[in-house]
Structure 1
C-alpha cells in the first residue's frame, strides 16, 4: 500500500508558525494531533492510503496499548471495501469500559475482554476473525458481507467466526451477524458478487451455486458467478472493470473484450438446461437499484412486490 508523508509540528516556534500558515493556505492537511500531510498528495491518494495515513497519524500521538480495529483493521489487512472510508480511526481500548469519540478517532471499550491481535507493519491490529466480527456487528449488511466473504476466501474457518461471535458479551446485532455468517461464502470473488448474493437472498430466491462450471464434451466453456439449476438461470455480476482497466484487459482492446464476452455468453446460452441469463451491474445491486426487474426478466421467481433493490 502506498504510504503518505507525515510531518509532526516542529519544536521551534518560527518553523511551527510557517507550518501553520501553510496549513491555513491549504498546502498541508492536519490528520492527527500535531501531525500533518501534504494536502495534494492526500487528495491524490487512494481511499485506503488516506485512511492508513490517518491511522499512522493517530497512533503517533496516542499512548501505547491501543489496537487498530473495525474498519481501520479492514484497511490494515487489505480487505476489500467499497465507498468512502471514515475520517476517524477505529481503535479498541482494553482499558476502557465506555466508548469515546474524539476528533481523529473513535475508541471502542474492551475492558475485561481478550482481544486477539496481529502485528501488521509493526501496528497492533485485530486479527482477521475479530475484525470480521467487529464489522459484522457494527457495519451495514452490505459492507459486512463483503468482509466476511473475503475472510472466508482467505481460509478462515466459519466455525472460528461463529465462535468469535458467540464469545462477545453483547447480544446487540448478534442475530443479524449470525445470519450473515450463514450467507457468507468464500467462493465469492468480488465485492459486486457479494452484494449480488445479498440482493438475491433478500429477494427470497433459492441459494444459487457459486462459480459453476459449464462443460461441453469434457471441456469447460465457461465458469459463471451464480447458477440456479431449478430455474435454469445464470446470473453474472458485470463490474465493467474488464472493459475499462488496462491491467484487467491485458493486451486486448475494450472492443475485443466485449466481443469475447458475447461469444462466451452465446456459448452459455447454448448449454442444455440454460433458459435465462441475467447481468447485474453496480447501480442495480445498490439499494434502490433495478436488480429485481433484471432478475425477474431472466426467469427467476422474484416477487412482483419487490420493485427495487432492498436496503441493507
Structure 2
C-alpha cells in the first residue's frame, strides 16, 4: 500500500532500486540516498545523502519496514537523475511490473523541476515492457538513438502451429533478427538448466539455424554488453546485418 505525506526521509533513487529488487548494472552508490520532504536543501551525512523535496508529495511504500519511494517515484527519480542507459533499464522494469506509461508521464509532469525533464519524458516514451533484460533495454535504446525502424520485440517464429523460436528484435521490412547475447546463459549454472556451457552453445547454434531457415529471415545479428555500451560496435553490427544505420555512425552513442 502506498503511504503519502508522512514526514521524514524516504529511501530513494538507486537505494530504492535495490529495495524494490529492480535490475541494475555496474556499481551502486556506497551511500544511502534519501528523499526528505522536510528539506529544501541537500544534506550530506556520514552514511547517506539527502535530496530535498519540501512541499512535494512523495509516493512511498514500506518494504521490510523501511519507508521507500514507490515504483513510480523511483522510476521518475532515476529518469531525472541518472544517465539514459540506467534510466531505460529501470523504466522498462517498472513497466513490466504493471505500472502504466501514463502514470509515469503524470508523475513526471508534477515534478517542479526543469533540468532533465525533457530527456526523462523522451525516455518514458521509449521505454518498453517487452524487453526482458537490461541488455535488451540498452539494445532497444541503441535502436532508437540510431533512428532505425521500430522493431517487433519478442517476435515468435512458428511452424505448423508450433513456436520454433522467440527472438529479441525482429525488423520485418529488412528481414533482420537481432539478439542480445548477455553471455550469462553460458557462464551461470543456474541459467544453464543442468546443461554444460558447450551444450548451451550447441543449442544456441541450432536455435539460430532454425530461425535462419524461415524464408523471411535474411540475416541474424548478435550484440553483447560491450557492443551496446557507449563507444561499442553495435552500429557496425546492425549495419552489416542490413539495417539503415546513418552513414558515418560506427560507435554506440553516449548516454
Say whether the fold is shared (TM-score over 0.5): yes
Where relative contact order (Cα < 8 A, 6+ residues apart) is larger, the structure is: 2
Query: Where on the TM-score scale, by shorter chain, does this alignment land: which range?
Result: over 0.9
List, as ranges, runs of 4+ consecutive aligned residues in structure 1 with deviation greater than 6 Å.
Answer: none
Match of 2:234 among 291, 300, 306: 291
Cα deviation per residue 1:59-113 (whole Å; 9 max; x = unaligned)?
A: xxxxx82100011100100000000001221101111111223342211111111
**Cross-structure match for 2:33:** 90
**Cross-structure match for 1:108:** 51
User: How far 1:298 sits from its partner (Å)?
Assistant: 0.7
Equivalent residues in 2 for 1:139-218, closer than 5 Å: 139-218=82-161
**Cross-structure match for 1:33:** none
Q: Does residue 1:261 correspond to 2:201, yes or no?
A: no
What TM-score do the two structures reach when normalised by structure 1?
0.78
> SS of the residue aligned with 1:235?
strand
Match of 1:302 among 216, 231, 245: 245
**Aligned-partner Cα distance in 2 for 1:305–1:107:** 44
Equivalent residues in 2 for 1:221-236, closer than 5 Å: 221-236=164-179
**Cross-structure match for 1:128:** 71
> SS of the residue aligned with 2:185?
helix
Match of 1:244 among 183, 187, 191: 187
> SS of the residue aligned with 1:258?
helix
**Aligned-partner Cα distance in 2 for 1:250–1:216:** 25
**Aligned-partner Cα distance in 1 for 2:47–2:143:** 38
Q: Does residue 1:273 correspond to 2:216, yes or no?
A: yes
**Cross-structure match for 2:4:** none
Match of 1:68 among 2, 5, 11: 11
**Structure 1 gap ranges (5+):** 1-63
What TM-score do the two structures reach when normalised by structure 2?
0.96
What is the RMSD of the two structures over their aligned residues, measured on CA atoms?
1.0
> SS of the residue aligned with 2:98?
coil
**Aligned-partner Cα distance in 1 for 2:139–2:41:** 37
Structure showing greater radius of gyration is 1
